[in-house]
Amino acid sequence: QAYSLYENAHRNPDIDSLLILSDTYGISLDKMTTRPIREDEIEVKNFQRAMNECHSDILYLTDEEIDIVMTVRDFDKDKKRLLNIFLDSQK
């Protein structure tokens, strides 16, 4: 959701986020803020560090973890209760 706010110009990134993105993608702040950037200009480096610094409050899930969450969402009340009992027993 945060990304779409930037995309649709409903929100602007703060300077710290811009600096991290600039470093991560190898693009100067001037280029980032004054004109559209072509895909061939982007050089991704330190991507994981940038994601952690920009979004330390966001939990990133693997595709496998997303599949598990989506499956559990479809569980009925009894299946969720049984899953909670099982997970509690694993602590």
DSSP 27-86: --HHHHHHS---GGG----SHHHHHHHHTTTS----HHHHHHHHHHHT--HHHHHHHHHH
Q: Is the pLDDT of residue 77 over 90?
A: yes
pLDDT tens by residue, 5-59: 766 667 777 888 888 888 887 888 887 777 666 666 665 555 555 555 555 555 6
DSSP character at residue 58: S
What integer pLDDT is reported at residue 76 of this predicted model? 93
